[in-house]
Chains A and B, each alone.
Chain A
Amino acid sequence: MTESRKTRAPRALLRAVIAGLAGVFVLLGGAGAAMAQPSDSNVEGKNFVIGTDTTFAPFEFRANGELVGIDMDLLQAIAKDQGFSVDIKSLGFSAALAALSSNQVDGVIAGMSITDDRKAIYDFSEPYFESGVQMAIAKTDDSIKGYEDLAGKTVVAKTGSEGETYAKSIAAKYGFTVKSLDQSATMAESVKSGSAVAVFDDYPVLAYGVSQNNGLTTVTEKVPGGSYGFAVNKGQNPALLAAFNDGLAKLKANGEYDKILDKYLADPASAVPSNFWERLGNSIPALMNGLGHTILVTAISFAVAMVLGLLAGFMKLSNNIVVRGISTTFVNIFRGTPLLLWAFLFYFGVPQLTGLPMSIWVAGVLTLSLNSGAYVAEIVRGAIQSVDPGQLEASRSLGLGYGKSMQKVVVPQAFKMMTPSLINQLIIMLKDSSLLLAIGFTELLYQGQQIYAANFRITETLLIVGVIYFVAIMALTKLANYVDRRFNK
């Protein structure tokens, strides 16, 4: 069991009690056959955190703000059948696997092909879907009829996917180049914009995109290929794996499995609203939720960054070489390394090193505030140094100590000078917080990605997200300037 489950102990206990009571009722009713299976007893009433992709329609995508898709429906149906519950973390494919390795999640279901490489690190369920690779081109392109027409051209495929493996395996033979991208929606976009001529991807994904009018059409037969499996960390959660297999077998037997597949593959258009404005309207709550998270994580991080920055800024002015050194090291480290690196390190690295779970909020706040704190430290140091030294001398000559002089005379003047830079830093932080989408933090741009992953309207969605950022930042700037004028007259 993962660490993240330990933190849920009280809830798990409650669920166990409820499930136990339910079990008694079922037994009394004389319908206890399903409950008697040994694999059930281990997972019943438990809650599992499952990682998944952000953008892999029809397996997982958002419709009306809800995560839906074949993977999601299957998992929920199996969970229901087996009596456990799941928390879904929509992290992105690579991030979900990283989270699994660092035990931030108990399992991953993400349209993932079962490969030998992966089997070395993870334990897989029985295959729940037989996939295959297909090629799609722009609907308006009539120059490409098959692989032979790809000579000298560039195609796109998803990083680490079967489609990529297959495309690369025939690239030399047909003389084309393979460019790897991260999301289905961006792949479709690059084909439509002409930076690539074709996309290689799993056929259900392509079929779904076509049904959503993503501007592509499929031209080749599907190449039979990988089977998708549900994965847990090697040697961990065998009970969960067994329950998944057991539930899957039952869904296949009772026909529900076929129903789920049909829902997304046979008539996929019905799965989501078809009108763009309707979809947009539906996506507003998700975007507002994302904006809320963006603002909240920025506000908390900025407060922490101010404390860190003031501390480090003053330490930089210290006469003590050790104190100064600590501060300089801090500033240099966080100014000299990318923000994203720290996001990954805090969220995926720290749990692996310490064995303790890391909340995504803590990881996000640490990342933003340490990075920003380094810049604030420099702003503070610069502002204090730019106050006329005669001010400190005058105050000291009156008999005020160093601390009092700083507090009453130097810092108030420095603050006045640094507010424009601090407001600037706050705005940079708000924009930088979008990088946290890489670890699956559900901020504004992340929500935008979720939406265009499902509706393939990249440009429109990004423009809307851009407008929301712009308005939020304008409002923030106005507010900050107002506060500045009020307090720094």
Chain B
Amino acid sequence: MSASPVETKKPAKITVKGLRKSFGTNEVLKGIDVEISEGEVVCVIGPSGSGKSTLLRCLNKLEEISAGHVVVDGFDVTDPKVDINEVRRHVGMVFQHFNLFPHMSVAENIMLAPVELKKATKAEAREQALTLLERVGLKEKADARPASLSGGQKQRVAIARALAMNPGIMLFDEATSALDPEMVGEVLQVIRDLAASGMTMVLVTHEMGFAKEIGDRVIFMDGGVVCESGPPAELFGNPQQERTQEFLSKVL
């Protein structure tokens, strides 16, 4: 399916204002301002070390935020009074290296959060896990151990796990980078379906073709700042900034 047109002025789902992040003396994010509205699919591209992952991890506070504000689903995650665990239940995250729990079965991986957070009984959670697995095409693997799955299957399970708390936002950090080429497609298909369902998504990706196809908007980062952003057709077809042109000439 093709990218849906940018819908104008839906309420902001994520608001990033003046976000700065340093590791020691190394400032990695140097003032980021981004607004993402409900249902929007935003792809983040940029050279290695530009701060894409760090930005994503600041959105659910996996990194401490040095300065600025990040408001997610109405919660200001920089506010110490906000229960970050509560916020994270609204934000699913998918990692490059899957990070499945190896000591649990596939279904148990998905059931962990709903059961532990008392959102469902074990039976309900299993029911839901099977539904999610069906959605990613892996229902028959429910009782397998993660170690017995292929990379593409692992990542699909990881996506199902991230969906278990019914989040309104999904974050993907290079979800296909660690996969063998022949498995990339099956994972991208799952992400595509999610986008079609109206999920708000932020994807850090190296797959330019996929970003072009799926993104409502593409953000190009370089050196800890947002260098250029816009609809994929414009950013890829007619980049305004020299650094964007340079980057795209290398990767396209």
CA distance A390 to B164 in the complex (A): 19
Q: Is A398 an interface residue (CB 8 A)?
A: yes
**Interface stretch (choices A10-18, A56-64, A352-360, A409-417):** A409-417
* Cross-chain contact B99 with A394 (CB below 8 angstroms): yes
How many A-B Cβ pairs are below 8 Å?
Answer: 60
CA distance A408 to B93 in the complex (A): 19
**Interface stretch (choices A245-253, A399-407, A473-481):** A399-407
Highest count of chain B CB atoms <10 Å: which of A394, A400, A404: A394
CA distance A397 to B173 in the complex (A): 13
Q: Which residue of B lies closest to A389 (CB)?
A: B99
Q: Is A234 an interface residue (CB 8 A)?
A: no
* Cross-chain contact A390 with B99 (CB below 8 angstroms): yes
CA distance A388 to B95 in the complex (A): 13
* Cross-chain contact A399 with B95 (CB below 8 angstroms): no
CA distance A399 to B158 in the complex (A): 15
Q: Cβ of A390: which chain B residues have Cβ within 8 Å of it?
A: 95, 97, 99
User: Contacts A397-B93, A399-B85, A399-B86: A388 and B99 contacting too (C-beta < 8 A)?
Assistant: yes
Q: Is A141 an interface residue (CB 8 A)?
A: no
Q: Which residue of B lies closest to A391 (CB)?
A: B99
CA distance A285 to B165 in the complex (A): 63
Interface size class of B (residues with CB under 8 A): 20 to 34
Q: Which residue of A lies closest to B90 (CB)?
A: A399
Q: Is B102 an interface residue (CB 8 A)?
A: yes
Q: Is B101 an interface residue (CB 8 A)?
A: yes
* Cross-chain contact B103 with A398 (CB below 8 angstroms): no
**Binary contact track B67-99/A, C-beta < 8 Å → 1, others 0:** 000000000000000000111110111010101
**Interface stretch (choices B111-119, B131-139, B188-196):** B111-119
CA distance A412 to B103 in the complex (A): 8
- Which of B116, B158, B161, B162 meets A404, CB within 8 Å? B116
- Which of A391, A396, A416 meets B101, CB within 8 Å? A391
Q: Which residue of A lies closest to B93 (CB)?
A: A397
CA distance A409 to B101 in the complex (A): 7
CA distance A391 to B93 in the complex (A): 13
Q: Which residue of B lies closest to A402 (CB)?
A: B85
- In chain A between 380 and 398, which residues have their CB closer than 8 angstroms to a CB of chain B? 388, 390-391, 393-398
* Cross-chain contact B165 with A398 (CB below 8 angstroms): yes
* Cross-chain contact A396 with B62 (CB below 8 angstroms): yes
The binding surface of chain A is classed by DSSP as helix
* Cross-chain contact A399 with B99 (CB below 8 angstroms): no
* Cross-chain contact A413 with B113 (CB below 8 angstroms): no
CA distance A404 to B118 in the complex (A): 12
Q: Which residue of B lies closest to A409 (CB)?
A: B101
Q: Cβ of A404: which chain B residues have Cβ within 8 Å of it?
A: 116
Q: Cβ of B91: which chain A residues have Cβ within 8 Å of it?
A: 397
* Cross-chain contact A399 with B101 (CB below 8 angstroms): no
* Cross-chain contact A408 with B116 (CB below 8 angstroms): yes
Q: Is B60 an interface residue (CB 8 A)?
A: yes
User: Contacts A408-B112, A412-B103: A397 and B60 contacting too (C-beta < 8 A)?
Assistant: yes
User: Contacts A393-B62, A413-B103: A398 and B113 contacting too (C-beta < 8 A)?
Assistant: yes
CA distance A398 to B91 in the complex (A): 8
* Cross-chain contact B117 with A399 (CB below 8 angstroms): yes
Q: Which residue of A lies closest to B115 (CB)?
A: A408
User: Contacts A399-B165, A413-B103: A394 and B95 contacting too (C-beta < 8 A)?
Assistant: yes
* Cross-chain contact A401 with B97 (CB below 8 angstroms): no
CA distance A395 to B102 in the complex (A): 12
Report A486 CB to chain B, min CB distance, Å.
Answer: 14
- Which of B85, B99, B158 meets A401, CB within 8 Å? B85
* Cross-chain contact A399 with B89 (CB below 8 angstroms): yes
CA distance A413 to B104 in the complex (A): 10
* Cross-chain contact A400 with B102 (CB below 8 angstroms): no
* Cross-chain contact B88 with A398 (CB below 8 angstroms): yes
Report B96 CB to chain A, min CB distance, Å.
Answer: 9
CA distance A91 to B95 in the complex (A): 63
**Binary contact track A297-330/B, C-beta < 8 Å → 1, others 0:** 0000000000000000000000000000000000
- Which of A393, A396, A400, A401 meets B112, CB within 8 Å? A400
- In chain B between 102 and 161, which residues have their CB closer than 8 angstroms to a CB of chain A? 102-103, 112-113, 116-117, 158, 161
Q: Cβ of A409: which chain B residues have Cβ within 8 Å of it?
A: 101, 112
Q: Cβ of A399: which chain B residues have Cβ within 8 Å of it?
A: 85-89, 113, 117, 165
User: Contacts A399-B86, A399-B88: A393 and B103 contacting too (C-beta < 8 A)?
Assistant: no
Q: Cβ of B165: which chain A residues have Cβ within 8 Å of it?
A: 398-399
Q: Cβ of B62: which chain A residues have Cβ within 8 Å of it?
A: 393, 396-397
- In chain A between 46 and 105, which residues have their CB closer than 8 angstroms to a CB of chain B? none
User: Contacts A393-B62, A394-B99, A416-B103: A400 and B93 contacting too (C-beta < 8 A)?
Assistant: no
Q: Cβ of B113: which chain A residues have Cβ within 8 Å of it?
A: 398-400
CA distance A388 to B103 in the complex (A): 13
Q: Which residue of B lies closest to A416 (CB)?
A: B103
Using A391-B101, A399-B87, A408-B112 as known contacts, list a sample of 10 further A-B pairs with CB atoms less than 8 Å apart, ordered by residue number in A.
A388-B99, A390-B95, A393-B99, A394-B101, A395-B112, A396-B62, A399-B85, A399-B113, A400-B85, A416-B103
A and B contact pairs by CB, cutoff 8 A, 29 listed: A390-B95, A390-B99, A393-B62, A393-B95, A394-B93, A394-B95, A395-B101, A395-B112, A396-B62, A396-B88, A397-B60, A397-B162, A398-B88, A398-B112, A398-B113, A398-B161, A398-B162, A398-B165, A399-B85, A399-B87, A399-B89, A400-B113, A400-B116, A400-B117, A408-B112, A409-B101, A409-B112, A413-B101, A413-B103
Q: Which residues of B contact A (CB under 8 A)?
A: 60, 62, 85-89, 91-93, 95, 97, 99-103, 112-113, 116-117, 158, 161-162, 164-165
- The 7 nearest A-B residue pairs measured at CB: A394-B99, A399-B89, A398-B113, A390-B99, A399-B88, A397-B93, A399-B85
